[in-house]
Amino acid sequence: MKTVGTLFGIGVGPGDPELLTLKAVRKINQADVIFTAASTKNAYSLAVEIARPHIAEQATIRSLSFTMSKDKVKAREAWDSNARTIAEVLEQGKNAAFLTLGDPMTYSTYGYVLKSLTSVMPHAVIETIPGITSFHAAAARINRTLVEGEESLLISSGAYGGEPLRKSMDGVENVVLLKAYKNTVDINTALKGAGLFENGVAISKCGREGEEIIDNLGDLETRDPNYWTLILAGK
Ligand SMILES: C[S@@+](CC[C@H](N)C(=O)[O-])C[C@H]1O[C@@H](n2cnc3c(N)ncnc32)[C@H](O)[C@@H]1O
């Protein structure tokens, strides 16, 4: 029987190359083909740059373009086409790695890869290697506990402002807000409404060149924060 290769979905951590796990290093090194998402946000070069010292010399690096189209059919076609590209490699018996920043199961294009690959290649062998998330790295960076005792923690996206917070804030004591780079006035209004504004901190490019720790969330409103910004807030 023909052996198929394995797809390793690998989280390379949030930026600091020392936050790559030993397992990620070993699996990156075993990959014949390295896939990553091409992105205007530069995630492609970053994930590859973090992994670069561990990529086998003979491995090839391929970037896949993920359409974030609002048209669901078009988006699905693009994801399936990427999945077929990965499937072709696996069918040749080669191992492939799909690199993502942070953790692959947390707000990552890898989620789309997983869904599409299992649909276009149901017999695909897939192994996911967790990565250190941006918010775990950020909490560690400023020595701030994320959650304690019986408290709750909401992990949400700020891409559309404070609305997701307003919807799910009831009884939540701590919040992690990723993609906190736009609609910051609305985000802050929602945090104030929930009594979470005062203790909030924003971190940009944690562990990377240009890292910034913004102690006053009000400053976000005048700064035009970059895409790599998250907020940690709590009561
Ligand atoms: C598409 S999500 C990817 C999350 C990633 N998979 C993770 O596990 O952290 C992108 C968001 O993650 C956050 N992010 C990723 N890396 C970061 C870093 N080094 N510093 C601060 N925020 C970061 C930002 O909020 C950014 O908008």
**Exposed / middle / buried, residue 134 (Cβ in 10 Å: 0-12, 13-18, 19+):** buried
Every domain of the chain with CATH number 3.40.1010.10 lies at 6-129
Query: pLDDT tens string for the chain (235 positions)?
Result: 679 999 999 999 999 999 999 999 999 999 999 999 886 555 558 999 999 999 999 999 999 987 767 788 888 888 899 999 999 999 999 999 999 999 999 999 999 999 999 999 999 999 999 999 999 999 999 999 999 999 999 999 999 999 988 988 788 899 999 999 999 999 999 999 999 999 999 999 999 999 999 999 999 999 889 999 999 999 8
Question: DSSP letters of 57-71?
Answer: TT-EEEEEE----SS
Atom 7 of ligand 1, nearest CA residue: 102
Quote the pTM value.
Answer: 0.94
CATH number of the 134-234 domain: 3.30.950.10
Between β-strands 229-234 and 212-214, what pairing exists: parallel, antiparallel or unpaired?
Answer: unpaired
Quote the ligand 1 centre to 157 CA distance (angstroms).
Answer: 10
- The residue whose CB lies within 8 Å of the most ligand 1 atoms, and thus the one to mutate among 228, 231, 232, is 228
Residue 211 Cα: closest atom of ligand 1:
20
Atom 5 of ligand 1, nearest CA residue: 102
Cα separation, 49 vs 45, whole angstroms: 6
CA quadruple 188, 194, 197, 200: dihedral, nearest 10: -110
Cα separation, 51 vs 26, whole angstroms: 11
Quote the ligand 1 centre to 21 CA distance (angstroms).
Answer: 17
Q: Which residues contact 102 (CB under 8 A, 6 or more apart)?
A: 11, 12, 13, 14, 108, 131, 132, 133, 134
Looking at the domain covering 6-129, what would its CATH class be?
Answer: alpha beta
Every domain of the chain with CATH number 3.30.950.10 lies at 134-234
Ligand 1 contacts (CB < 6 A) are: 14-15, 100-103, 106-108, 133-134, 138, 178-181, 203-208, 227-230
